[in-house]
Structure 1
Amino acid sequence: MDVQDKARDPADVYDEEFVPALFAPWGPVVAAEAGVREGDRVLDVACGTGALTLAVSEIVGPSGQVVGLDANPAMLAVARRKPEDIEWREGMAEALPFADNSFDAVVSQFGFMFFEDKPKALFEMMRILKPGGRLAVAVCDAVENSSGYNAFALLLDRLFGKEVGDAFRAPFRLGDTSLLQALCGEVGLGDADIVRQPGKVRFKSIDSLVSTERACVWTLGGVLTDKQFDRLLREAETALKPFVINGEVIEFDMPALIVKAQK
Structure 2
Amino acid sequence: MSFQLSGSAPEIYENTMVPLWFGRWAEALLTLVSLEIGESVLDVACGTGVTTRIAKQDVGSDGRVTGLDINAGMLTKARELAADIDIIWMESDVLGTGLPENSFNAVISQHGYHYFPDQPAALKEFYRVLAPSGRIAMSIWDGHSAYTKAICSAVEKFISPDVAKKQRSQRETPSANSLIASASEAGFRNVAITRQELSINVPLAAEFVPLHLGSMPIANAFHSLPDAEKEALVADVAHAMRDYVVDGQIIYPDAVNVVTGKK
Q: Structure 1 CA distance, aligned partners of 2:241 and 2:176? A: 28
- Per-residue deviation at 1:198? 1.0
- Per-residue deviation at 1:229? 2.3
Is 2:168 the counterpart of 1:169? yes
Q: Structure 2 CA distance, aligned partners of 1:97 and 1:251? A: 43
Kindly report which structure 2 residues correspond to 1:44-55, keeping only aligned pairs within 5 A, or say none.
44-55=43-54
> CA offsets per residue over residues 59-106 of structure 1, 9 Å max, x none?
111121111111111111111112322111111112233100001111
Matched residues, number: 253
> CA offsets per residue over residues 41-74 of structure 1, 9 Å max, x none?
1111111111101111111111211111111111
Q: Structure 1 CA distance, aligned partners of 2:189 and 2:171? A: 22
Contact 2:189–2:261 (Cα < 8 Å) also in 1:
no
Give the structure 2 partner of residue 137 of structure 1: 138
Give the structure 1 partner of residue 114 of structure 2: 113
Give the structure 2 partner of residue 104 of structure 1: 105
Structure 1 residue ranges without an equivalent (≥5):
1-6
Structure 2 residue ranges without an equivalent (≥5):
1-5
Q: Structure 2 CA distance, aligned partners of 1:101 and 1:72? A: 25
Is 2:124 the counterpart of 1:123? yes
Q: Structure 1 CA distance, aligned partners of 2:152 and 2:55? A: 32
Percent identical among aligned pairs is 28
Cα distance, 1:147–1:236 mapped onto 2, change above 3 Å: closer
Is 2:13 the counterpart of 1:23? no
Q: TM-score, normalised by structure 1?
A: 0.87
**Letter paired with 2:256:** A
> CA offsets per residue over residues 172-216 of structure 1, 9 Å max, x none?
111521332343354234752121111233323312331133224
Give the structure 2 partner of residue 221 of structure 1: 219
After TM superposition, where is structure 1 displaced by more than 6 Å over at least 4 residues in a row? none
Q: Structure 2 CA distance, aligned partners of 1:68 and 1:242? A: 39
Q: Structure 2 CA distance, aligned partners of 1:203 and 1:114? A: 25
Q: Structure 2 CA distance, aligned partners of 1:109 and 1:67? A: 14
Q: Which moved more, 1:15-24 or 1:92-101?
A: 92-101
**Letter paired with 2:76:** A
Give the structure 2 partner of residue 241 of structure 1: 242
